[in-house]
């Protein structure tokens, strides 16, 4: 969607046009969900924050400054909501393996092991992201997932472009190392339980 078309949608939605609001949501909800999901690692948190962010944005469309990108504004609000939610919530530990383990000396059931191995593979990228600092994770996601240019990320994060690049490089290296470790771990899990 071009910025001009997006601006028209914003103006229509601000005047109370439901269809324009829906078009704005459909244009941005997937990328915003992916971003928050990768930041938080939890689907329920991502859904709550995406919904809350869109509600706030649609309620205050008259405050939108058309000199900036709508997505930048939306992501900034969502990030703020995520930070607030993170400060309120405590980390939750739940693993199917731990839940299924009855402590009677028996191994977990086969479906549980399969699910764990499958989750390991699926969540390896999330584990790798979890190994990054908050800044590195956000910068990696904005650059490699959302395709934001370095200059825009620097403005969004309030740091020089050189620092953004440094976070990018270190974040990629760290993720690669964690992923390699995950691959080794997955091979070990499969080898032990099968």
Q: Binders of another protein among 35-54, rule CB under 8 A?
A: 37-38, 43, 46-47, 50-51, 54
Give the helix, strand, coil percentages of the chain, each rounded to 5: 80, 0, 20
Does residue 180 belong to the site contacting another protein (CB under 8 A)? yes
Max intra-chain CA distance, the chain? 65
Query: Smaller CB distance to another protein: residue 76 or 145?
Result: 145
Does residue 119 belong to the site contacting another protein (CB under 8 A)? no
Query: Smaller CB distance to another protein: residue 108 or 171?
Result: 171
Does residue 63 belong to the site contacting another protein (CB under 8 A)? no
Query: Smaller CB distance to another protein: residue 61 or 113?
Result: 61
The token pair that represents 175 in the structure block: 């993720």
Does residue 26 belong to the site contacting another protein (CB under 8 A)? yes
Q: Which long-range contacts (CB under 8 A, 24 or more apart) does 115-123 make?
A: 116/189, 117/186, 117/189, 117/190, 117/193, 120/182, 120/185, 120/186, 120/189, 121/186, 123/41
Does residue 175 belong to the site contacting another protein (CB under 8 A)? yes
Give the residue, chosen from 3, 5, 8, 18, that forms a contact with another protein under the rule CB under 8 A.
18
Does residue 171 belong to the site contacting another protein (CB under 8 A)? no
Q: What is the dihedral of CA 9, 12, 15, 18, to 10 degrees?
A: -80
């Amino acid at each position: 969607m071009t910025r001009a078309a997006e601006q028209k949608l914003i103006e229509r939605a601000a005047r109370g046009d439901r269809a324009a609001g829906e078009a704005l949501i459909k244009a941005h909800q997937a990328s915003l969900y992916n971003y928050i999901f990768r930041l938080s690692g939890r689907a329920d948190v991502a859904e709550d924050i995406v919904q809350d962010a869109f509600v706030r944005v649609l309620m205050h469309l008259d405050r939108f400054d058309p000199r900036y990108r709508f997505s930048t504004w939306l992501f900034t609000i969502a990030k703020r909501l995520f930070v607030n939610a993170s400060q309120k919530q405590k980390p939750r530990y739940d693993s199917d393996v731990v839940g299924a383990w009855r402590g009677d000396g028996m191994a977990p059931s086969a479906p549980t092991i399969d699910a764990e191995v499958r989750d390991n593979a699926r969540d390896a990228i999330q584990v790798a992201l979890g190994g990054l600092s908050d800044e590195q994770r956000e910068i990696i996601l904005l650059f490699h997932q959302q395709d934001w240019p370095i200059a825009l990320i620097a403005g969004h994060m309030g740091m020089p472009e050189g620092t953004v690049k440094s976070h990018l490089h270190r974040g990629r290296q760290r993720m690669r190392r964690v992923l390699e470790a995950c691959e080794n771990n997955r091979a070990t899990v499969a080898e032990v339980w099968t």
